[in-house]
A = this chain, B = another copy of it.
Amino acid sequence: MHAFDVLGEPVRRRIIELLADGEMSAGEVGAIVQREFGISQPGVSQHLRVLRENGFTTVRPQGTRRLYAVDPAPLQELDHWLERYRSFWNQRLDALSTEIARGRSRRRPDSGESPSDRRTRRRSGGTGG
């Protein structure tokens, strides 16, 4: 199951939000989620399983409880996928900070492009890694 698919589920998204503040037991999560979404305990447990099996959470047993916590790896993967599109809303700032951070001295010459050729140019092309 793809990471995007895992978070496509509202209940699972909510669980991750709850765990963002720190680890919680399955019961604590369940109490909130069951109240908010009106689903049963097994329902919550299965969502926790999907999150677990897809690497979104870690579990630590404490007595008869299971303490769940966010594992950031898949979230970071999504973040990485989105990175490509960040220029769409960050265009100037992102490119600028990248240049500064990397200390890039290599700059491409300002190539003038006739505006009638392409209306909205999205990628300047070539700065990618």
Contacts and interface: CB of A to CB of B under 8 A. Distances in A.
Interface of A: 2, 4-5, 7-8, 10, 13, 16-17, 20-23, 58, 60, 69-70, 72, 75-76, 78-79, 82, 84-86, 88-89, 117-123
Q: Determine how many copies of this chain the complex contains.
A: 2
Given A4-B8, A7-B4, A72 B88 contact: yes
B119 A58 contact: yes
B78 A82 contact: yes
A50 B89 CA distance: 22
A79 B75 contact: no
A89 B76 contact: yes
B89 A122 contact: no
